Amino acid sequence: MRGYLVAIFLSAVFLYYVLYCILWRTDVYGVPPVDMKRRHKIQPCPSKPAFASLLRFHQFHPFLCAADFKKLASLYGSDKFDLPYGIRTSAGHFQLALSKLQSCDLFDDEFDSVPCKRCVVVGNGGVLKNKTLGEKIDSYDVIIRMNDGPIVGHEEEVGRRTTFRLFYPESVFSDPKHNDPNSTVILTAFKPHDLKWLWELLTGGKINTNSFWKKPALNLIYKPYQIRILDPFIIRTAAYELLNFPKVFPKNQKPQHPTTGIIAITLAFHICHEVHLAGFKYNFSDLQSPLHYYGNATMSLMNKSAYHNVTAEQLFLKDITEKNFVVNLIQD
Ligand SMILES: *[C@@H]1O[C@H](CO)[C@@H](O)[C@H](O)[C@H]1NC(C)=O
Ligand SMILES: *[C@@H]1O[C@H](CO)[C@@H](O)[C@H](O)[C@H]1NC(C)=O
Ligand SMILES: *[C@@H]1O[C@H](CO)[C@@H](O)[C@H](O)[C@H]1NC(C)=O
Ligand SMILES: *[C@@H]1O[C@H](CO)[C@@H](O)[C@H](O)[C@H]1NC(C)=O
Ligand SMILES: *[C@@H]1O[C@H](CO)[C@@H](O)[C@H](O)[C@H]1NC(C)=O
Ligand SMILES: *[C@@H]1O[C@H](CO)[C@@H](O)[C@H](O)[C@H]1NC(C)=O
């Protein structure tokens, strides 16, 4: 009996080790087997992207699918982390929200046929104000925007096209004039209520607005076919691998999480071959300079948020720019 137990234990350890090697020790172009199914939509590019060394897996399918998100969560270790870095204790919330979506595709077939995609991630920074980068931004294969950074009225500054827009309940547009039916919008879930909020809006239920740090949108301007849910693996990669956040914060400090901007760049690293940035700089030396390219907020309103580490993010941006992993469209 004891012998059996030891044998079973040893083979379990061996299996775990083999799985571990397959998962984590492959280079960026080695692909874990289960991943193939979901990757078929990403057109491979023969040359390595400049930022390949930053990533465990390049060409990672970034959106959760109702059918297999649990399986992939255990494959990628996302079942060992809570939101926003994994699905542990929130799998039910994910399941509910995903069950109301119509697709987990990355690109449509036409777009998919473009290999080696060139992407631009458009931040909402005031540096975009009075620049005429709109046409340049529109020339990319993939244009990633975030939160409620508007296009309407700012076409010359930031362009007209949007491939992806990342959002969360407190940052999403509620005026339908901002919906571009050609864009895919991506829920970045930070807490279980974000998923519950999406599910409630998609089922026409009553929104419970407790548990939000700011009043969330009470209506959804997007159609179910446009909506995806970001795999928390992307947010975890941003926090632990790119920003090097500690896994445990001191008891007297609130845990910090990456901003949507850094999450958007991390997403771009996983689906693009070239990544360019615009609107990511803040001018801390001039408190009267505009905070965003829209509205009237100035840098003086840039709150020292306990939730983000702006210093770590600015250092990261400086580093990836100096290493030519990304190109900044606005030099200075
Ligand atoms: C943008 O241009 C307007 C009008 O020319 C000017 O009033 C404003 O100060 C400029 N803003 C910045 C940030 O340069
Ligand atoms: C959406 O895409 C179609 C087909 O590519 C294009 O004709 C249309 O102008 C686009 N709409 C917007 C709002 O960009
Ligand atoms: C920041 O603002 C100061 C003061 O207005 C200005 O001299 C400087 O050029 C600005 N820096 C950037 C990067 O825009
Ligand atoms: C910004 O300020 C201008 C001029 O004071 C005002 O007309 C405009 O409504 C303000 N915009 C916003 C979004 O508050
Ligand atoms: C900073 O905090 C003030 C007061 O709490 C708020 O009015 C303002 O909108 C905040 N600014 C930003 C950029 O979040
Ligand atoms: C923010 O990040 C910087 C650079 O990684 C680090 O030195 C600093 O301690 C962090 N700040 C907080 C409040 O954790």
Dihedral pair phi/psi, residue 328, rounded to 5°: -90, 125
On average, the pLDDT of the chain sits at 88
Q: Which amino acid is at 148?
A: D
- CA 290 to ligand 1 centroid distance, Å: 10
Tokens for 253, please give them. Answer: 């400090």
Tokens for 251, please give them. Answer: 């008891």
- CA 131 to ligand 2 centroid distance, Å: 24
Q: Which residues line ligand 6 (CB under 6 A)?
A: 309, 311-312, 315
Question: What's the whole-number mean pLDDT along residues 37-59?
Answer: 77
CA-nearest residue, atom 5 of ligand 4: 296
- pTM for the model: 0.86
pLDDT at 37 over 50: no
Cα 264 off chain centre by: 4
Nearest in space to 78 (alpha carbons), one of 212, 273, 240, 193: 240
Q: Which residues line ligand 3 (CB under 6 A)?
A: 283, 285-286, 289, 332
pLDDT at 29 over 90: no
User: Which ligand has the nearest atom to the CA of 170?
Assistant: 5
- CA 285 to ligand 1 centroid distance, Å: 18
Place of tokens 């445990």: 248
CA-nearest residue, atom 12 of ligand 3: 283
| Whether the CB of 180 sits within 6 Å of ligand 2 | yes
- CA 285 to ligand 3 centroid distance, Å: 6
| pLDDT at residue 43, rounded to an integer | 64
User: Which ligand has the nearest atom to the CA of 301?
Assistant: 5
| Whether the CB of 130 sits within 6 Å of ligand 1 | yes
| Whether the CB of 303 sits within 6 Å of ligand 5 | yes
Burial classification of residue 130, based on how many CB atoms lie within 10 Å of its CB (0-12 exposed, 13-18 middle, 19 or more buried): exposed
Instruction: Please identify, by atom number, the ligand 1 atom nearest to the C-alpha of residue 130.
Output: 1
Task: Name the band, by pLDDT with cuts 50, 70 and 90, for residue 121.
Answer: very high
Ligand 2: residue of 151, 162, 182, 225 to mutate (most ligand atoms within 8 A of CB) is: 182
CA-nearest residue, atom 2 of ligand 6: 312
In this structure, the number of other CB atoms found within 10 A of the CB of residue 177 comes to 9
3-state helix, strand, coil in the chain (%, to 5): 35, 10, 55
Question: What's the whole-number mean pLDDT along residues 172-179?
Answer: 97
Tokens for 76, please give them. Answer: 């990628």
pLDDT at 17 over 90: no
More confident residue, 192 or 4: 192
Calculate the CA dihedral of residues 289, 277, 258, 96 and round it to 10 degrees.
120
Domain boundaries, the chain: 1-30, 40-328
pLDDT at 247 over 60: yes
- CA 289 to ligand 4 centroid distance, Å: 15
281-294: per-residue pLDDT in tens? 888 889 899 999 99
What dotted CATH number matches 40-328?
3.90.1480.20
Task: Name the band, by pLDDT with cuts 50, 70 and 90, for residue 1.
Answer: low
More confident residue, 253 or 191: 191
| pLDDT at residue 307, rounded to an integer | 87
